[in-house]
Chain A
């Protein structure tokens, strides 16, 4: 957390989110733009949870200390999530301030609360998935893998949907095996969930379970991972 709050880049991002949220508070639709920026911040900071330590040699020093690797990993996740949550708070506060200053329309408290909760939940999910990827890959590859997987899932579903329109060949096969598309859609929805219009307990529970399982897998992978040192 301290690493982020003392970073000029992070502070600049907070100011940017604040200004954009203030600007977007003039829109009729609440929660415009800033939740996406918070999601982008989760992607950027989440991709650096473990990677840089491998190359700087910091990780070797850390793992030589009497601290469980999983405890270290989870503390990093907590720090990164706290930094992203702070950005969400700034966005929300700026939008609330903007709307209160403008007055007039009935204040969308409930909608803003839903957007804030959904933004935090999806950010945590993004960070958890990136942590899992970071526990088995190096440096910033995990961001590329994350985005690549998300894009591949979306594209594959679109292509399969197009094929299914035809009654022959692959289309017929997909028609007879609906589980293929259903599985892809489920994986997409579980790993890359978007916040719904209304937060529901089942959705929150699913995100919570995914985060828990993903972080548990990340801890297991990180505990077992070799930490190369030197070249000799």
Chain B
């Protein structure tokens, strides 16, 4: 049985003697969205380039379902949205998407229908016959997303996919990522938009100085995390820790349960212990503070 995941172990890459990646490990499983964050120069794009086979590794290994990223069969299952798309000035959006689809191996019989459907989905249908030189930044980004998704890739690499998009476009991209996740694609998202990363990623790697400085799980497939804010002075810290399994920080305690019933039961126990509950909301890791702390 093949090992279905994107795997990177000890990835090293240097340019002119300067180590940009100094031993990065990474795993992405089917149906998982992994976020890559970090300050400028952290090595995020270099890591993505290594994963896509644009750069040769100085050390370490990368495997997609146990095979090399240079394997044409793997590339046929890979989609890539670059940060900026600036090609084919004379070609129309339709021609571009169709050409890319053919390169990606979409059968001739279905390519037109797929291109039409996706251009419509990305709200580019009306502009499909216009030369791409007339496209705005956001429209180019939508075209880039179109070409990346047209062959329903199993491995999807998104480099700042929402850059240049209007709020509707951002929501659309969020939906599209959720759909890819739903159908079992492995998604790597490189973005500086922390709010977006929190909304779509299951896990986040914080890259700094070419190494993974911190890994955070934002969403668990098998349990829910809720942040419960308690009225200051109304609770016994030890008692809360015993019930929640973790101590309250700044009067907020994070509780975890398999389902809503288990969450409700934990909240009931907190209230019974004398704690006054002020607010309950889904727990989101505060990437901004992590970023500030790590950068």
Contact = CB atoms under 8 A, between A and B. Distances in A.
Interface stretch (B42-50, B176-184, B234-242, B259-267): B42-50
A227 B52 CA distance: 10
Interface string A61-74: 11111111000000
Nearest to A67: B103
B41 interface: yes
A63 B41 contact: no
B90 interface: yes
Contacts of B105: 65-66
The range of chain A's interface size is 20 to 34
B45 A232 contact: yes
Contacts of B76: 65-66
A57 interface: yes
Contact of A229 (B40, B45, B90): B45
B147 interface: yes
Interface in A48-62: 53, 56-58, 60-62
Contacts of A63: 53-54
B73 interface: yes
A102 interface: no
Contacts of A228: 49, 54-55
Interface string B12-23: 000000000000
A179 interface: no
A3 B18 CA distance: 39
Contacts of A7: 90
A61 B78 contact: no
B82 A226 contact: no
B80 interface: yes
A231 interface: yes
B243 interface: no
Contacts of B44: 232
B223 interface: no
A65 B49 contact: no
A6 interface: yes
A196 interface: no
Contacts of A68: 72
Interface residues of B, number: 35
B86 A64 contact: no
B43 A229 contact: no
A65 B88 contact: no
A104 interface: no
A66 B155 CA distance: 13
A63 B103 CA distance: 10
B41 A65 contact: no
Contacts of A231: 45
B72 A232 contact: no
A68 B16 CA distance: 28
A62 B99 CA distance: 10
A56 B85 CA distance: 8
A202 interface: no
B75 A226 contact: no
B80 A232 contact: no
A60 B84 contact: no
A106 interface: no
B227 interface: no
A61 B147 contact: yes
A230 interface: yes
B2 to A, nearest CB: 18
A100 to B, nearest CB: 36
B72 A230 contact: no
B90 A6 contact: yes
Nearest to B84: A57
Given A64-B80, A65-B103, A232 B42 contact: yes
Given A66-B75, A232-B44, 8 more contacts: A66-B104, A68-B72, A227-B55, A229-B54, A229-B82, A230-B159, A232-B41, A232-B42
Interface of B: 40-46, 48-49, 52-56, 72-73, 75-76, 78, 80, 82-88, 90, 100, 103-105, 147, 157, 159
7 contacts: A61-B87, A63-B53, A63-B54, A66-B75, A224-B56, A227-B55, A229-B48
| 7 pairs of A and B residues whose beta carbons are closest in the complex | A230-B45, A58-B87, A232-B45, A66-B76, A65-B103, A66-B75, A64-B80
Interface of A: 3, 6-7, 53, 56-58, 60-68, 224, 226-232
